[in-house]
């Protein structure tokens, strides 16, 4: 009997846009494994009966909207529409929102690992950065208790990764994806109004592939911001046509008490908790300097300033904590290029380990997180 020669399966070389893992069942399995800790945490919190969370307040707000009203008064009360409509019409209320957030966390972490694999990060860097981002109380809290802010941050992080592909690599498809990610983020979370705008305006400071082309920086900023601006203008026009005013609901009340909020913000950043909130920004600067991408320092600085502005204007909802830490960690992951030397890899890993320490320190000193955890454990 003659043995037939075995047919060799030759895979094409991996490119920086390939999915990881390559097979869909393995990708979904990885997403499920990442989701398990957050789902378990969400169920434990739900069993405790604790209700003082942003998800609970979102459900309470949507319950007060008169959807069957004869006029269009509800149109001014649904902003941001994505999170509001989701909370209003999914069954189960707060626990369902927690489970959705937990599952979203798993899918997002797989995507973050995929981005780092595409950029050929070392395994040590991937593990440390994933731990820094996801294995701390701030990420668990936002994933399971603050769906609107969490989705806004996830979409912001994915948009940042595509900004690099669009501006530095010249990938036009990624530019349109950034616009869509930013648009949905703005329609999901009020805070995204400021930090998405800051990221899009500062993105032209990154190194461009189309060097010497007139107007390319303005054109890139327009591509990134146009979908979000168009969506906001459309909602304002609808409010003006049906209610007689362009702003209503959350957008109208968000800016009340801004001077007092600004004083509170200044006092907060003078405390230990405030210093630990600023520390991740410094980490983002260090990584940008290490990889010689100085434009990233401008983006991280403007995004941090946008968070402070959002808090001062009342755009940051009560109960939000850890937003700056998560955003700065996502920026570090999204904006780091492929490490070319062993020294660069070691330095990035050192800063990433520091980020782990800062995340836990910020969680331990967080007043909001401490009060919520006390209520959960006492229940």
Are the C-beta atoms of residues 126 and 113 closer than 8 Å to each other? yes
Q: What is the DSSP letter of 160?
A: H
**Residue 5, pLDDT above cutoff 70:** no
Share of residues in the chain with pLDDT > 70 (%): 87
Per-residue pLDDT at 217 exceeds 60: yes
Residue 6 has pLDDT above 70, yes or no: no
108-112, 304-308, 351-355 — which is least confidently predicted? 304-308
Q: What is the per-residue pLDDT for 10?
A: 47
pLDDT in tens, 11-39: 554 556 678 888 999 999 999 999 999 99
Asked if the structure places residue 34 within a domain, the reply is: yes
Residue 347 lies in a domain: yes
Count how many domains the chain has: 1
In a domain, 3, yes or no: no
| Secondary structure letter of residue 75 according to DSSP | G
CB-count exposure of residue 49 (10 Å: 0-12, 13-18, 19+): exposed
Residue 169 has pLDDT above 70, yes or no: yes
**Does 15 map to a domain?**
no
Indicate whether 16 belongs to any domain: no
Asked whether residue 260 is assigned to any structural domain, the reply reads: yes
Give the C-alpha separation, 260 to 144, whole Å. Answer: 30
Q: Whose CA is closest to 230, among 175, 154, 179?
A: 179
d(CA 44, CA 98): 11
Q: What is the mean pLDDT of the chain?
A: 84
Domain-embedded: residue 17: no
Mean pLDDT throughout 135-153? 94
pLDDT at residue 70, rounded to an integer: 58
Specify if 7 maps to a domain. no
Query: What confidence tens digit (pLDDT) does each residue in 301-325 have?
Result: 888 888 888 777 777 766 678 888 9
Domain enclosing residue 91, as ranges: 24-378
Count Cβ neighbours within 10 Å for each residue of 72-87 and write b for 16 or more, e otherwise.
eebbbbbbbebbbebb
Q: Between 51 and 125, whose confidence is greater?
A: 125
- pLDDT over 60 at 272, yes or no: yes
Whether pLDDT at 369 is above 50: yes
Burial status of residue 52 (CB atoms within 10 A of its CB: 0-12, 13-18, 19 or more): middle
Give CA separation, 146 vs 78, 95, 197, in Å.
Answer: 17, 11, 21
């Amino acid at each position: 009997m003659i043995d037939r020669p075995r047919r060799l399966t030759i895979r094409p070389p991996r490119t920086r846009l390939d999915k990881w893992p390559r097979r869909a069942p393995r990708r979904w399995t990885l997403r499920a494994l990442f989701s398990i800790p957050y789902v378990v945490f969400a169920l434990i919190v739900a069993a405790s009966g604790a209700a003082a969370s942003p998800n609970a307040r979102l459900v309470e707000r949507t319950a007060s909207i008169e959807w069957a009203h004869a006029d269009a008064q509800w149109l001014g009360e649904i902003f941001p529409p994505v999170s509001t409509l989701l909370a209003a019409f999914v069954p189960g209320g707060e626990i369902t929102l927690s489970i959705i957030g937990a599952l979203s966390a798993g899918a997002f972490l797989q995507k973050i690992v995929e981005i780092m694999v595409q950029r050929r990060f070392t395994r040590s860097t991937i593990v440390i950065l994933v731990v820094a981002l996801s294995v701390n109380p701030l990420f668990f809290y936002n994933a399971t208790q603050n769906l609107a802010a969490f989705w806004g941050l996830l979409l912001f992080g994915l948009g940042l990764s595509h900004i690099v592909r669009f501006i530095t690599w010249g990938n036009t498809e990624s530019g349109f994806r950034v616009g869509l990610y930013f648009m949905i983020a703005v329609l999901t979370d009020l805070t995204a109004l400021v930090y998405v705008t800051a990221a899009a305006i500062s993105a032209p400071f990154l190194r461009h592939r189309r060097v010497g082309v007139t107007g390319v920086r303005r054109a890139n900023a327009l591509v990134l911001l146009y979908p979000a601006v168009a969506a906001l203008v459309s909602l304002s026009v609808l409010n003006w046509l049906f209610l007689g005013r362009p702003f209503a609901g959350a957008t109208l009340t968000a800016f009340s008490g801004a001077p007092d909020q600004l004083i509170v913000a200044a006092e907060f950043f003078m405390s230990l908790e405030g210093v630990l909130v600023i520390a991740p920004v410094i980490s983002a600067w260090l990584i940008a300097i290490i990889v010689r991408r100085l434009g990233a320092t401008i983006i991280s600085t403007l995004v941090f300033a946008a968070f402070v502005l959002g808090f001062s204007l009342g755009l940051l909802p009560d109960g939000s904590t850890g937003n700056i830490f998560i955003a700065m960690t996502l920026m570090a992951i999204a904006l780091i290029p492929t490490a070319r030397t062993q020294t660069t890899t070691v330095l990035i890993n050192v800063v990433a380990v520091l980020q782990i320490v800062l995340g836990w320190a910020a969680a331990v000193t967080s007043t909001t997180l401490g009060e919520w955890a006390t209520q959960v454990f006492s229940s």
